[in-house]
Structure 1
Amino acid sequence: MSEIAYVRGDAALPSGKGVKVIAHVCNDIGGWGKGFVLALSRHWPEPEAAYRAWHRDRAANDFGLGALQLVQVERYVWVANMIGQRGTKTGSKGVPVRYEAIDTALGRLADEALALGASVHMPRIGCGLAGGKWPRIEPLVMDRLIRRGISVTVYDHRD
């Protein structure tokens, strides 16, 4: 079984050939404006527009923890909006990250990546503003993606 490839760089500019899916974690309240999403929005308007419409029409769709939305931004590049955090602020219920929701979304992402023949590229999802810990998320990525033969690259941003 292969391993996760760790590289320095910007996950919003994935390297390599072939179809690529950029995966990231979104909140469940329709907020888009801080963290990794800003890098995505600098390159393409479609992921934010699709996420906001998905949230706005949530009464008629699957928007919620664990859901996945794939948005094509270039011929061979897709963005995976994964709902993996409850709200945006740390409070009496702890940090916003929801590991079980990320696990569910990664399972859905695996099915889509296999159908597309795509590799998956991401920052350390759920570990920024969501407050998650990579030692809890890395095994989910291994179980859901790597074990199914999907190539995964995790980008640590250059300072």
Structure 2
Amino acid sequence: MKKTAMLAAIVACATTLLAAPQAGAAAHQDGLHFGALQFDGPGADMPQTNAKLNAEYVDLHNNTRTAIQLRGYTVKTASGYLYTFPSFTLGAWKTVRLKNGQGTNTAASVFRKKNNFWFNNSSGSLTLTAPGGAKKDTCSWRANGRGTTTCH
């Protein structure tokens, strides 16, 4: 009987340990939220090119069962740079990459269409706001030697 109780205790403990998230692992966020952020593209910023501008991006994830119309949603940096989504539908469980420079919008990428860098290479933050003013997500970063971070 003692062996059976001991075995049951070991199985229960192992199940709990396997089900527990790893320390430091971020839970995947529900709803509409920021994902990967590249705030400092590879190489030197100058001379400035469209390719270097588009190397600055942030991903937006829709982790819901329904598509979301993003018209009027804004992405704003702490330094005041702003992008307002035009009519754009982000499908259920889909991701769109918001790039900084020029380009043609597709289902996978949208373009800010500006000729200046919008992310500070050393540190900064972003806020995602719904058309009615509700804050949906924030993301902040500090220089890390890679120029990238994950916002969730």
- Shorter chain as denominator, the TM-score bin is under 0.3
* TM norm structure 2: 0.28
The structure number with the bigger radius of gyration is 2
Which one has the bigger strand percentage?
2
**Structure with the larger helix share:** 1
Give the alignment's TM-score, normalised by structure 1: 0.27
